[in-house]
Structure 1
Amino acid sequence: MVQTQIAVEGKKFLVTGGTKGIGRGLVLNAAAAGADVITCYRSEDESVASLVRELKETPGDHHVVRADVGEPEGVRSLMEEVRTRFGRLDVIVNNAGVISHIPYANLALDEWQRILDTNLTAAFLIIQESLPILGPGASIINIGSKSCEVGIPLRAHYTAAKAAMVGLTKSLAKELGPQGIRVNVLAPGVIVTEAMLALPPDQLEAMKVRYTAKTALARLGEADEIAGGMLFLASDLSRYVTGEVLHVDGGIT
């Protein structure tokens, strides 16, 4: 049978860190495509309330819950919500992340651990806790970064976490493959987000000029374009794709 469209209708999605930036685009696009979605956030703000409003207007069974996945207890409470509300998962998108910019000589151990706990250990725990409710055909999508290939000054901790995510993904793809579970990395390029748009105008313009020049398509990306990669990896169109890193970065160098 020839498949011509991405279909995720009725699939149960967990997208971590889904109230802002790329995560918000992933959540809204999954819901719009017919999936049921649970997402989480760490702190209350207007982005949470506005996402709740948007999801209420989108058909499906959607939930926005408070859980700090940088803490093991936060992961446990999130997974309890998933088991209670959905009972199963078809797609996990490990998107939650934090970043800071610190010279390596000044990088404190607790900051190193904070970045790795949220960007890497959270994915480890969520996948492990989800195994009993993942069935054949399930897709795990770990959000990566181009930075782990090129390295970025002041982000040694973040880059290390994203590089380790690739290793985790490739190992799990082989370990979970016999169960019919696929594991891939989705690696965005430079994407326009609320945080970027909140920069002072001169900094924003400088960033746009710098990264536009480095990108083959000569523009920055949009969250919806990352969502396209997610929907592909979540659907049966990618049913023979696992252990891969899908770059959605406009050809950035």
Structure 2
Amino acid sequence: MGTLQGKVALVTGSARNIGRAIALGLAAQGAHIVVNARRSREDVEAVAADIRSAGGSADVIMADLGEASQVKGLFAEIKDKHGKLDILVNNAAVRRETPLANISAAEWRIVMSSILDASFFCSQAAASMMPDGGRIISMGGLSAHTGASNRAHVVAAKAGLVGLTKALAMELAPRHITVNLVAPGRIDTNREKTGAPNPTHHSGHNSPLGMQGSPEDVTAMVVHLAGPGGQYITGQTIHVNGGIYLP
């Protein structure tokens, strides 16, 4: 029996990479997983299938989380199917690299809505149906603390999550709902292994451990925060970065 047996968890943006690893990790502890993405239905169906083949339980709900109406529909479906949501992992994001002079108003809004708006909408909806003792965990980023060229919109959105986390932690504390932010450092993901251009915002940031992290390293922290061991941790930004950044 896992530590999350009987819990229902939504992992947004869980089609690939860190989101996929988190979904699998929470499922391994017994949680039923709602796998979510905006467009990648084939990928999220594959994640749900992997969970089921390992003996876990999962279903798929597609939604664009930057749209408040779609978030409302997503959570209505979760409530109809499961009656509650115990764990929310705000992982969905758009990660663009664009020089300041070239960031259009449209691109600014796309990035802000996919990261900050989506996390707010989902946290607001989750809190209304989450039992006391629930967990809200958002995924931040190293660049929100170090700065980064060509990422003004992403850095601003991720930094906004720090404030949102603190505010929600205080407001939801009377219900023992913990709210935390996990900030990964350099993580070895599929995006960096495919033909897509490698991200450059972490160039020059080398871990003292001499290695990149894996999605499973991030997952381990999320699973801890979601479980019994995380009950006295709230309002925190927890860095999983191998020592690249020491706050």
Same fold flag (TM > 0.5): yes
Task: Kindly indicate whether residue 32 of structure 2 is the aligned counterpart of residue 39 of structure 1.
Answer: no
Tell me which amino acid in the other structure corresponds to 1:230: V
> Alpha-carbon deviation of 1:132?
2.3
Cα deviation digits, residues 127-184 of structure 1 (max 9, x gap)? 1112221122111101101111111100000000000000000011111101111100
1:128 corresponds in structure 2 to 124
Q: Separation in 1 of the partners of 2:78 and 2:42?
A: 24
Moved more, 108-117 or 38-47: 38-47
| 2:222 paired residue number | 230
User: Does 2:170 align with 1:174?
Assistant: yes
User: 1:214 is paired with a residue of what secondary structure?
Assistant: coil
Matched, 1:245 2:237: yes
What's the offset of the Cα at 1:214? Answer: 1.1
- Looking at structure 1, the residues matched to 44 and 5 of structure 2 have their Cα atoms a distance apart, in angstroms, of 24
By how many angstroms is 1:45 displaced? 5.4
Match of 1:83 among 56, 79, 85: 79
Instruction: Give the secondary-structure state (helix, strand or coil) at the position aligned to 2:86.
Output: strand
Q: TM-score, normalised by structure 2?
A: 0.92
**Is 2:86–2:131's contact at 8 Å kept on the other side of the alignment?**
yes
Q: Match for residue 94 of structure 1?
A: 90
Q: TM-score, normalised by structure 1?
A: 0.90
**Cα deviation, residue 56, structure 1:** 2.3
2-side partners of 1:210 and 1:71: how far apart? 33
Check conservation: 2:165, 2:179, Cα contact below 8 A. yes
* Aligned partner of residue 36 in structure 2, secondary structure: strand
Residue deviations 1:101-147 (CA, integer Å, cap 9, x gap): 11111111111011000101111111111222112211110110111
Name the aligned partner's letter for residue 101 of structure 1: E
Is structure 2 residue 138 aligned with structure 1 residue 142? Answer: yes
Count of residues in Structure 1 that have an aligned counterpart in Structure 2 = 244
Distance of 2:5 and 2:218 partners within structure 1: 19
Distance 1:238 1:48 in 2: 27
Kindly state the Cα deviation for residue 90 of structure 1 after the two structures are TM-superposed.
Answer: 1.2
Q: Report if aligned partners of 2:2, 2:30 keep a CA contact under 8 Å in 1.
A: no
Gap regions ≥5 residues in structure 1: none
Matched, 1:68 2:60: no
Deviation at 1:229, TM superposition (A): 0.3
Aligned-CA RMSD value: 2.1
Deviation at 1:53, TM superposition (A): 2.1
Amino acid in the other structure paired with 2:38: R
Structure 1 residue 187: Cα displacement? 0.8
Q: After alignment, is 70-79 or 184-193 more displaced?
A: 70-79
* Mapped pair 1:216 → 2:212: no
Question: Structure 2: which 5+ residue stretches go unaligned?
Answer: none
Aligned-partner Cα distance in 2 for 1:69–1:142: 14
